[in-house]
Amino acid sequence: MNLSSSHYGSDAGQHCLSFSHPLKRQRVEAPGSSSLRDETIQRYTDADLAADLNALSFEERHKMEEDIHGVADAVEETDAFVNTRMKEMRSALDMIPNNRKEAWDRAVFLRPSLAWDRPLHLMFLRAARFDVRQGAESLLCRYETKRRLFGDDLLIHRITWQDLTPEEQSMVKTGFMQLIPNHDRTGRGTLFLRFCRWDTSNAVVYLRSAFYIIEALHYYPEVQRKGVVSIGDFRGTWKSSLPQILKLIGDEKYVFDRMPYHNATGHLLYDHHQMNAFIQAIRAVVDKNQRMRHRCHGGSNMEIEYSLRSFGIDLSDCLALGSPTGPMSVRGIEEEISRREKIDEEWRQSEIPYRDPSSREALFPNPQDVIVGRSRKITLAWPGNIVYNRLIEQHAPEYGSVDDQDRIAKTSIAIQIFGILRRDYKARFLSRKDRLWEVVDDVEAQRKVSQALRTAARYRKEQHSS
């Protein structure tokens, strides 16, 4: 690493950062006159690793070593086994308190088929090596993260290249994070992290870009089954300082610990001994199961290359510091983006029939649709329902002024509102039915409008009389 041109200067490896972290690790004071000299850093030392390994049973250590070296047997995914685990995972999701699964519950309400989405659930089960509780927790975390980063509008849809801002698209093209389904002799995927390319000036931009990259796992079932080898490259000239990167990882620890893949092992690369303190700091803030799988490799490119090959990883074409993007060339990144765009377009085409306003059933409501039924917490804020309720409020005075015996006049007001929604907004009145939404017939929809008008007119009358 070119320390002289980095953000650190000659004392790069000495600078430290404090974390609020439950681990009781060795804490080292920052020396000298650095602006960070009053701060401390938590390190995960070899002694800590030895203690954690000794706490494992022989069988646990054996399974971990097999996983690290890529010789562990893959789980045999028979139909009976998978179906049983899927059912158990759905039960585990039901048992988790509602306040911990608001995003997931919202997504399932709007897109009921998610509750039975086999590829989606199977991806998280594979990530957890079929531990149903862990798989359920990771699924919920992923949806909470998705809602926080992309909002309610994209919660039930795949994140595509078009959903990213120009700044986020540019960040993806830097190669700061790359998911590559090769480079491992056993067929595992490689998640390559070039820390020197991380730009933490806008954490949301980083996290949204990373979320999009990880979404590619949906298209790699073999990588889901065999797991991912993560490569953390600490070499190069840095855009953000390591304390900034460590703070981002610490602040977003829950996100980093719940990625939808099985992290078989992690390899941390460095070319300067001063990086060692920061490597230990990163190991201290990640999940215990992950840090026990970390292996460090220092020295020249050749030394690192041979060390990685002993773990079955061939990065001989990926270690050049002069590359602007790292393992995947600029052309390779562009080709991956094009591939993703093609898949995304196929996905969009498959959903067009359900988005058609003339369709009698839907996988999910369109924004302009009116949702009929329960879950007022969602329906009150739904765009189509907001328009609907505004029309009801506008016509309630007229409806209330009509004599109760003049049913034809009252019905005509309801029909007028229904017509505006259908003609001007292309809205459907949708009711949830099992795994789909169904269009409420016109007579029932007009009855709903009349009922809403009566309620609004009565409420106005009560307000004026009080």
Q: What is the pLDDT of residues 235-259, one digit of tens each?
A: 888 888 888 888 888 888 777 777 8
Lowest mean pLDDT among 84-88, 244-248, 372-376, 444-448: 372-376
Where b means 16+ CB within 10 Å and e means fewer, 119-139 reads ebbbbbbbbbebebebbbbbb
Beta bridge partners, 28, equal: 41
Assess contact for 119 and 132: CB atoms under 8 A: no
CB atoms within 10 A of CB 439: 19
Q: pLDDT band for position 2 (50/70/90)?
A: very low
Lowest mean pLDDT among 45-49, 183-187, 423-427: 45-49
The pLDDT value recorded for residue 43 is 67
Q: pLDDT band for position 24 (50/70/90)?
A: very low
The pLDDT value recorded for residue 446 is 93
Number of Cα atoms under 13 Å in the Cβ half of residue 291: 22
The pLDDT value recorded for residue 466 is 65
Q: What is the pTM of this model?
A: 0.83
At which residue do the structure tokens 């460095």 appear? 270
Q: How far apart are CA 263 and CA 115, in angstroms?
A: 25
Query: In Å, what is the CA distance from 220 to each residue of 168, 182, 227, 321?
Result: 23, 11, 10, 28
Q: Give me the phi and psi of 269, to 5 degrees please.
A: -105, 135
Q: Give me the phi and psi of 232, to 5 degrees please.
A: -100, 110
The pLDDT value recorded for residue 34 is 37
Whether the pLDDT of residue 141 is over 90: the answer is yes
Whether the pLDDT of residue 407 is over 90: the answer is no
- Counting other chains too, the contacts that 170-173 makes at CB distance below 8 Å and 24 or more residues apart are 171/199, 171/205, 171/206, 171/209, 172/209, 172/212, 172/213, 172/333, 172/337, 173/325, 173/330, 173/333, 173/334, 173/337
% of the chain surpassing 70 pLDDT: 88
Assess contact for 256 and 28: CB atoms under 8 A: no
pLDDT (average), residues 409-421: 94
Assess contact for 23 and 284: CB atoms under 8 A: yes
Two tokens, residue 449: 């409008």
